Amino acid sequence: MADTTIVFYGMRIEISVDELDILESRKHPLQIVAKKVGLESYWGNFAAPNEKYLLFVGKLLGKLGFEDLKEIQIHEEKLAKIAKEVSAKLIDAGISHTAFLYLEHQPDQ
């Protein structure tokens, strides 16, 4: 995988190394509840070659990088609609985290 930057609207938490097996098998409780309410999840190591595992729950807006998109354009009305939908679904899922727009660099591992 080449370096990439994810553009994600939702919540983000740091994951311990002990949780990697359940993330890989898509059995982490947040992955399960996200799918149940129609949200997406994305996780990975965001500090390669060191370790800093992050899990995002909400809506993946895109990935920027050499092997991915070169640009992302989202109209304010569409972004507002996404924000409203994601926030409502997080509440429906019982997740109390505030949603944010994240642009997170993921170095090549």
Q: Which residues constitute the domain of residue 34?
A: 4-106
Strands annotated E in 1-109: 4-15, 40-45, 53-65, 100-106
Instruction: List, for residues 11-53, the tens digit of each pLDDT value.
Output: 999 999 999 999 999 999 999 999 999 999 999 999 988 899 9
Does residue 97 carry a pLDDT above 70?
yes
Helix, strand and coil content of the chain, in percent to the nearest 5, comes to 30, 35, 35
Q: How many domains does the chain have?
A: 1
- Count the residues in the chain: 109
Q: How confident is the model at residue 92 (pLDDT cuts 50, 70, 90)?
A: very high
Instruction: Tell me the whole-structure pTM to 2 decimals.
Output: 0.92
Instruction: List, for residues 46-73, the tens digit of each pLDDT value.
Output: 998 889 999 999 999 999 999 988 999 9
The C-alpha atoms of residue 101 and residue 2 are separated, in whole angstroms, by 22
**In the prediction, which pLDDT does 1 show?**
65
